[in-house]
Amino acid sequence: MLIRAGYRIGFDCLNPMPIHLLLSVHPDRRGDLVTDDKLRTDAGAEVTREQDALGNLATRVLAPAGPITFSAEFVVRDSGLRDRQAPGAGQLPVEALPVEALPYLLPSRYCETDRLGDLAWRTFGGVAPGWARVQAICDYVHDRITFGYHNARPTRTAAEGHEEQVGVCRDFAHLAVTLCRAMNIPARYCTGYLGDIGVPASTAPMDFSAWFEAYLEGEWFTFDARHNIPRIGRVVVARGRDAADVAITHTFGQAILTRFEVITEEVEATAADTSEGAARMAVA
C-alpha cells in the first residue's frame, strides 16, 4: 500500500535564529520512499540535513526574522500489515543486554523511573517477564490515562501523567516507557506518522503520533499504549529516550507558531505514481 504524508509548519521569528527540525522519515524507512520527503521553505533560508547522535535524520535551518513556513509532501510504501506481534518474546536479563540498549533503561527528562519504580514492581512484578509484562503495562496505561488534545502540556512528565490521569499520545508513551524501564525492559520513545488506516476515521485534525518500542529477545518491538491495538501504516520519523530527544521543531530564539498541519492518508497506487516517484528519487 501507499501512504501520502507530509506537513506545513509556520513560524513568525522575532529575530534571525537557528531552528532544528526532526521531520524527515527515519533512515530505517528511507528505502520505502516513493517520492522525496525533502523539507522546503519559503524564506530562502540556509538548510542542511544530517544524521544526529541517535540515528535520526535532522534538518538545521538558519531562519531570517519574520514569517517562515516548512513543508513537505511525499509518498511512502508500506506493507499494509499491522504491528508485528510476538507474544512469546522473552525479556533478557540486564547483564545480557547489548551496550546500545542500556541507555534505554535509565531515567530521562520525562521518564522518572526513580519516582515510579516501586509502583511498577508492585503492579507488574507478578506478571511473566517479556511480552506479557509489556502488554500488561500498556493495558494499565491505556486504562489509567484519558486522552484529550485539550489536556496537552509540554512539561508533563510520566509521574505527573500518572497522577493527573489525562494527556495526549506522548503522555501515554512516556508513562509506558517509564514503567518498562523500571522493570528492566529497555524502552525508547518514537514519533512519526500514524493515519486512520484500518480504523474508523477521527474527526480531530491529523497530528504526529507518539508510541514506543520495547527490547525483547534481541529485537525492538512496537507498542502503543494509547490505542493499545496493533495498527497499520506507522512511519517512524525519530527515536530517542523521550520527547526531549525528538522534538519535531526546536527554535533557538523567540518564535510564534502560526501554522501546523499534518497529512497522513492511504492513497491508491497507479503506474504513473510509481514511475514518477522513481524518477524523482533518482534525481534527488
* pLDDT (tens digit per residue) in 167-220: 999 999 999 999 999 999 999 999 999 999 999 998 888 999 999 999 999 999
pLDDT tens, 6-42? 999 999 999 999 999 999 999 999 999 999 999 999 8
What is residue 270's predicted lDDT score, i.e. its pLDDT? 66
Q: Is the pLDDT of residue 277 over 50?
A: no
pLDDT score of 274 more than 70: no
Into how many domains does the chain fold? 2
Q: In whole angstroms, give the CA distance from residue 204 to residue 260.
A: 13
Q: What is the CATH number of the domain that holds 228?
A: 3.10.620.30
71 & 150 share domain: no
CA dist 229 and 135 (Å) reads 10
> What is the pLDDT at residue 175?
98
- Whether residue 283 has pLDDT greater than 50: no
CB atoms within 10 A of CB 21: 22
- Look at residue 43 in the predicted model and tell me its pLDDT: 80
Same domain, 112 and 218: yes
DSSP 129: T
User: Distances from the Cα of 163 to the Cαs of 36, 171, 248, in angstroms?
Assistant: 43, 11, 26
For residue 21, the model assigns a pLDDT of 98
pTM: 0.93
Q: What is the extent of the structural domain holding 61?
A: 2-80+247-283
Q: Are residues 68 and 107 in the same domain?
A: no
d(CA 105, CA 226): 21
| CA dist., res. 86 & res. 78, Å (int) | 20
Q: Is residue 69, in this structure, part of any structural domain at all?
A: yes
pLDDT band at 272 (very low <50, low <70, confident <90, very high): very low
Judgement on whether residues 225 and 100 belong to the same structural domain of the protein = yes
Residues 223, 251, single domain; the answer is no
Q: How much is the pLDDT for 273? A: 54
136 and 214 housed in the same domain: yes
Asked whether residue 41 falls in the same domain as residue 112, the answer is: no
* One domain for residues 98 and 221: yes
- Could you tell me the pLDDT band of residue 284, with boundaries at 50, 70 and 90? very low
Asked if 36 and 119 sit in the same domain, the reply is no
In this prediction, residue 44 carries a pLDDT of 81
pLDDT tens by residue, 67-126: 999 999 999 999 999 999 999 999 999 999 999 999 999 999 999 999 999 999 999 999
Residue 156 confidence (pLDDT) above 80: yes
pLDDT greater at residue 160 or residue 43: 160
CATH number at residue 258: 2.60.40.2250
Average confidence score pLDDT of the chain = 94
- Tell me if 86 is assigned to some domain: no
Task: Answer yes or no: is 207 within a domain.
Answer: yes
- Give the distance, in angstroms, between the CA of residue 148 and the centroid of all CA atoms in the same chain: 18
Pair (115, 205) in one structural domain = yes
Residue 34 lies in a domain: yes
State the pLDDT at residue 75. Answer: 98
Q: Which of 271, 269, 179, 261 lies closest to 223 in space, CA to CA?
A: 179
- Residue 159 has a pLDDT of 98
49 and 110 co-located in one domain: no
